[in-house]
Amino acid sequence: MSTTTPTARIFSSDNTAGASPEIVEAVTRAASGQALPYGADDGTAAVRRRMSEIFERDVDVLLVSTGSAANALSLAALTPPWGSVLCHRDSHINNDECGAPEFYTAGAKLVPLGGDDAKIDPAELRAAARHKAGDVHGVEPSVVSVTQATETGAVYTLDELRTLGSISEEAGLRLHMDGARFAGAVASLGRTPAELTWRAGVDLLSFGATKNGTMTADAIVVFDRTRTAELAFRAKRAGQLTSKMRFQAAQLDAYLSGDLWLRNAAHANAMAARLLEGLKAIPGVVPLGAADANILFCHLPQQVIEGLLADGYVFYHDRWAPGVVRFVTSFATTPQDVDDLVRAVGRHAA
Amino acid sequence: MSTTTPTARIFSSDNTAGASPEIVEAVTRAASGQALPYGADDGTAAVRRRMSEIFERDVDVLLVSTGSAANALSLAALTPPWGSVLCHRDSHINNDECGAPEFYTAGAKLVPLGGDDAKIDPAELRAAARHKAGDVHGVEPSVVSVTQATETGAVYTLDELRTLGSISEEAGLRLHMDGARFAGAVASLGRTPAELTWRAGVDLLSFGATKNGTMTADAIVVFDRTRTAELAFRAKRAGQLTSKMRFQAAQLDAYLSGDLWLRNAAHANAMAARLLEGLKAIPGVVPLGAADANILFCHLPQQVIEGLLADGYVFYHDRWAPGVVRFVTSFATTPQDVDDLVRAVGRHAA
Amino acid sequence: MSTTTPTARIFSSDNTAGASPEIVEAVTRAASGQALPYGADDGTAAVRRRMSEIFERDVDVLLVSTGSAANALSLAALTPPWGSVLCHRDSHINNDECGAPEFYTAGAKLVPLGGDDAKIDPAELRAAARHKAGDVHGVEPSVVSVTQATETGAVYTLDELRTLGSISEEAGLRLHMDGARFAGAVASLGRTPAELTWRAGVDLLSFGATKNGTMTADAIVVFDRTRTAELAFRAKRAGQLTSKMRFQAAQLDAYLSGDLWLRNAAHANAMAARLLEGLKAIPGVVPLGAADANILFCHLPQQVIEGLLADGYVFYHDRWAPGVVRFVTSFATTPQDVDDLVRAVGRHAA
Amino acid sequence: MSTTTPTARIFSSDNTAGASPEIVEAVTRAASGQALPYGADDGTAAVRRRMSEIFERDVDVLLVSTGSAANALSLAALTPPWGSVLCHRDSHINNDECGAPEFYTAGAKLVPLGGDDAKIDPAELRAAARHKAGDVHGVEPSVVSVTQATETGAVYTLDELRTLGSISEEAGLRLHMDGARFAGAVASLGRTPAELTWRAGVDLLSFGATKNGTMTADAIVVFDRTRTAELAFRAKRAGQLTSKMRFQAAQLDAYLSGDLWLRNAAHANAMAARLLEGLKAIPGVVPLGAADANILFCHLPQQVIEGLLADGYVFYHDRWAPGVVRFVTSFATTPQDVDDLVRAVGRHAA
């Protein structure tokens, strides 16, 4: 993307957006005066209180700089080095983190499972959960990681989550949720954050915020508080304990305040729905898979892909299969951006 | 520190300060529009250009979220797991990072050396640099890490640095500089950044910014560019590659622009000098060690310590030895703050 | 297996055999007198000379206590922590070493590939060898590991090996061979050790001996001698550098002397062939896959499996699929043992 | 040492000796017949029974190939990666294992303490045991490791051990004993193995045997049996789980049978005492430190050192300080060997 690309034409990811104005204001306010470092500031305490309200129970919270760190730290606190992490084969932890989970866990093994829409198939989980358990020759099944919303934009229903939670619990496994787009899932399902996490068995949640309005602030929400002390040591040791944590805290405090996180997510979801609605009507466009949140996969004719690229549109294509395209919307996407894209597709498809 | 502590009375560290207004403005500007993620944005490229100008050669730059990450990543790129890191026994990497270097290096060993003012003694380095070299029973001497300015507020002179650089080079060791307070050292010495780093043999520099005006942005400046690719993989894997890197880039770009980094550091140093000047005149106050930058150690009578604490002053005391106190100033410390502190000490010493 | 099991009825693995008499004699001889430790003894030097003769070039040799250690050390010397190891999904390193490769490599990722008879499919390798190469978001393809003979008893032909070697070389990947049953492969193929290893591109060979006549001695044969120093440090650090290495050296020296290693392997192979011949004639017995070395898979009727178990036979069954059985022969298996087993199968099948 | 060195002149270490005849016979017996692998054999069970008798309680036992592996595995089971191991600065784990403890623990930190005769000073331990405990900025004090007998040939008295055990227990730390020369300590003190280990608070014992008569067999004796499962996974993952474990078991079974282990150690100790007695009478020879077991340090005139070297004697000298020499005896040292050495020293000193 050259610097002259109209930014309204970027649909490659929700991480190309900037930050919500409320977040910027909060950071500005946080910049004055002195504050105790390393999370001993008032802002960090406030984030914990807000999270406890939102999740309807006392939780601990660790602020981290990336979703990869949130995931890797969480997994390290839930599996021994000789353990395995059961996850979907298309999961971000398996494909897109350069082995961060293996690094943080000191070499645990990710066991990839199948399932539609990047959701773990319960039957595969059931088999893997007991595979070589207790046998020193194999890695020990230790933790299940689910992504909500999934990497392909689908959302686990509450029933689906509960099923995976039950299988995990029966096999004595811990449950981690990669919630890089957790807000989108909550907004999509109309279920409470509590129902979708600890009430379904989730021990640790990677609470993504950066893709949905903050600058560089994500968090781990700790439901199993016996893990908090270990996580604190691991975070420090990983270079994730920032001295001026007030700046991350300010972002998350504003993000959680007045339901900004859910409003942003609902907007991103609505933009994806609007896009789907528009594209469906165009001959030759074939939507693919579930589009429950802010990610939309579809098949486009080759001349459409080429036409969009010539227009300066930025998006992933031909990465999964020939002609398959991914569009991602965000809190910053406007209806105008979407309508322009739909029109462009229509024009090139004609 | 309760929320009602007058923040002007915090002298515990330079990490309790907020952010420079120029930094805040840059972040605000960066919040609008879309930008490519993971360092492919224009801002990140601009930081690299600025660093190359400042260091008078092409350098690579990695933006990271903490100084601990900068140090640990740098060391991991310079030593194998069976290597040793020769450092001062009082160094931050040895005492205050919860084993982050050991984690990132996959278990290299930190070998603590002595020396006044937290500066490595050249004779000790010379001995350690060859200790059991090539012998598989011992860890292999691999990298020297110097802190500039040191943890006690001293600054290596150019000659001192060159001596350590020569010893390292002769023994085939690599050289890392922990520059958490690098700006303060440059401001103090009146030498160029190039002289103080790669011209003295430094391979990788942890370029600290957070203590001196940014929010949550530090960097590794890569002089040995054969390490760049490895550092990029290691950073991603460590959860240090932020998606919206533009926000860190904006901070550093503003920090380096118009010499803000040196002006901030010079101010912090001046405040420490003003404090030293004021305290020296007070009977019973004994300055300790060099105070070349923004850290001042001194011995205070017990009643002075107690009086200051009762006034609400925040500072470290009785941690190194009974009666020993550390005061740290920052870019945000005002002459008034300093003068108030001096007066308070005088009052309690009377 | 109770202590009263007739040991002639154990066909579960070649690791249940004892040691060749020549090996025992060599160990006995080695027990007298003093010898320098840690591989500085004459015996260790002799092993290196023998290996250099056998492989028709100067090689370095590391003696290790297990095949898992040989594999994990080799892989650690060929991939960075952020790299990936391309291997067959049925490989021992992937399934049966409790994550030893992940431990030794500091968290590299094993990427499982398919292919018949536990041989890597060239097309799958070709695709995986370039997957996300150079992209910091994914692990970096770094090393290919082939098992010769394979875990299912097949043997890569020289052409097959060369093909995998070429693909590896073109993609810039290193090549490791897990030769836990290397002797069996050499005996089966009638090709020289040199042809089957470095001439086909192998950098490091896990040279298994324990399954074929030694007590507790395996080795890494180092063709890429730029890796030797690193391997020595890694081995020491892994607790694999024995002080009285003379005892491992004595075993390997005797093992390599007078072609004992090949004679033992040829015998084990012949016993498997004899077993196959015998079983093929029995109605209801279905041999499965290639049986090029000393491992034989077949499908047996349920009543045969039960009958054999009742007779006290020890073997793996119903682990891969219902009715599937694995028989393994060794240097210590006698024709009588085989014929007894064939008769027993025949009796239960009747 | 050339192959023509009279081996009776090697006093460099107890690891240059061969194996006791009883051990060789046991290994020979173990070589016939089949046995279940990976410690499921009868011999391994027998070792556990013998150890339980010797230590007067049920213990678990892991057989490993080296003392370094025994130490590193034990430490890994007693400290988290962010923990510290408090040990003597002269300890083998700190100086002579190439960072094996750091590797196995995933980067824990060894904190070196002082004390005479390589025994940990209780006051230093008391201070270190609480240093930064619970503070995420520092590594967490987690385990104390004592070497019995020490690296300089001294032996902790029972009272000394109990003191260190109490300090550890009060601070909530675990206790590991590096017993590479444990037999020598037991033989020297006339105390029971139980008194010297778990009754004094030891959780895991590295039970050395190789230096005292076996070939390549050491063990971990597990008093805290909650650690057994973890140790088993760690051992497998470290490549320490041998398939033909019967061969290690046979060695240890014979070693423990009929008090061979104590007879061998008593002999080695007696030889060191005989040597000390002889050397004391020679003018210019200055014995140094305690010589409670089979290691003797002394200061020799330079011409004596040179004379011994010219005679073909092998020993460490001038490694700790000019003129300082270490002599080590073993189960295989004869009175004649000792008397010859004394005479040689006397001759060169004249």
Residues in chain D within 8 Å Cβ distance of A106: 81, 106
- Residue A168 or residue A5, greater confidence: A168
pLDDT of A7:
66
pLDDT, tens digit (0-9, with 9 covering 90-100), for B303-348:
999 999 999 999 999 999 999 999 999 999 999 999 999 999 999 9
Largest Cα–Cα separation, chain B = 61
Structure tokens at D110: 């060894």
Give φ, ψ of A180 to 5 degrees.
-55, -35
B3 pLDDT more than 80:
no
Give φ, ψ of A214 to 5 degrees.
-90, 175
B238 touches chain A (CB under 8 A): yes
Task: For B70, name the nearest residue in chain A, comparing CA atoms only.
Answer: A239
Whole-prediction pTM: 0.97
**Which one of C82, C99, C106 has the shortest CB-CB distance to A139?**
C99
Interface of D with A in 20-59 (CB under 8 A): 38
Residues in chain D within 8 Å Cβ distance of B151: none
Band of residue D3 on the pLDDT scale cut at 50, 70, 90: very low
**Which one of B96, B98, B138 has the shortest CB-CB distance to D96?**
B138
Task: For C97, name the nearest residue in chain A, comparing CA atoms only.
Answer: A137
Give φ, ψ of C131 to 5 degrees.
-60, 115
D2 pLDDT more than 90:
no
Residues in chain D within 8 Å Cβ distance of A235: 136
pLDDT, tens digit (0-9, with 9 covering 90-100), for D90-122:
999 999 999 999 999 999 999 999 999 999 999
Cα gap D138→B102, rounded to integer Å:
12
pLDDT, tens digit (0-9, with 9 covering 90-100), for D240-263:
999 999 999 999 999 999 999 999
Interface of C with B in 62-81 (CB under 8 A): 80-81
Band of residue B86 on the pLDDT scale cut at 50, 70, 90: very high
pLDDT, tens digit (0-9, with 9 covering 90-100), for A304-326:
999 999 999 999 999 999 999 99
**Which one of A31, A34, A242 has the shortest CB-CB distance to B24?**
A31
Structure tokens at C37: 């430790």
pLDDT of C8:
73
Nearest chain B CA: its distance from D140 CA (Å): 8
pLDDT of D175:
98
Structure tokens at C98: 């409790």
Nearest chain D CA: its distance from B140 CA (Å): 8
Cα gap B202→B108, rounded to integer Å:
20
B109 touches chain D (CB under 8 A): yes
Largest Cα–Cα separation, chain A = 61
Band of residue B2 on the pLDDT scale cut at 50, 70, 90: very low
D103 touches chain B (CB under 8 A): yes
Q: Determine the straight-line distance between the first and last CA of chain B, rounded to whole angstroms.
A: 26
pLDDT of D290:
87
Band of residue C7 on the pLDDT scale cut at 50, 70, 90: low
Counted across chains B and C, CB pairs separated by less than 8 A come out at 35
Task: For C136, name the nearest residue in chain B, comparing CA atoms only.
Answer: B233
**Which one of D98, D106, D137 has the shortest CB-CB distance to B137?**
D98
Contacts of C53 (CB under 8 A, 6+ apart): none
Band of residue A290 on the pLDDT scale cut at 50, 70, 90: confident
Q: Residue C175 pairs with which residues in a beta bridge? A: C144
Contact D247 C19 (CB under 8 A): yes
Cα gap B273→C113, rounded to integer Å:
65
Band of residue D1 on the pLDDT scale cut at 50, 70, 90: very low
Contact C233 B106 (CB under 8 A): no
C136 touches chain A (CB under 8 A): yes
Nearest to A113, CA basis, from A125, A101, A130: A125
C103 touches chain D (CB under 8 A): yes
Residues in chain C within 8 Å Cβ distance of D316: none
In Å, how far are B8, C262, C285 from C269, measured between CA atoms? 83, 10, 20
Band of residue A1 on the pLDDT scale cut at 50, 70, 90: very low
Contact B99 D105 (CB under 8 A): no
B5 pLDDT more than 70:
no
pLDDT of B105:
98
pLDDT of B198:
98
pLDDT of B218:
97
Residues in chain D within 8 Å Cβ distance of A38: 136-137
Cα gap B123→B114, rounded to integer Å:
10
Nearest chain D CA: its distance from B83 CA (Å): 8
Q: Residue D113 pairs with which residues in a beta bridge? A: D88
D310 touches chain A (CB under 8 A): no
* Residues B241 and A66: beta-carbon distance below 8 Å: yes
CA angle D65, B81, B64 (to 5 degrees): 145
Structure tokens at B94: 């040895």
* Residues C164 and C128: beta-carbon distance below 8 Å: no
pLDDT of B332:
96
pLDDT of B290:
87
Contact B136 C82 (CB under 8 A): no
pLDDT of A8:
73
What percentage of residues in chain B have a pLDDT greater than 70? 98
**Which one of C140, C232, C234 has the shortest CB-CB distance to B233?**
C140
**Which one of C32, C36, C98 has the shortest CB-CB distance to D237?**
C98
A243 pLDDT more than 90:
yes
Residues in chain B within 8 Å Cβ distance of D110: 109
* Residues D155 and D146: beta-carbon distance below 8 Å: no
In Å, how far are C180, C213, D32 from C24, measured between CA atoms? 21, 10, 10
Least confident span in A281-290, C165-174, C340-349, D1-10: D1-10
Task: For A243, name the nearest residue in chain D, comparing CA atoms only.
Answer: D137
B98 touches chain D (CB under 8 A): yes
Contact A136 D233 (CB under 8 A): yes
B161 pLDDT more than 70:
yes
**Which one of B96, B102, B139 has the shortest CB-CB distance to D109?**
B102
Structure tokens at B125: 């380095």
Chains that touch C (3 or more CB pairs under 8 A): A, B, D
What ipTM does this complex have? 0.96
B4 pLDDT more than 60:
no
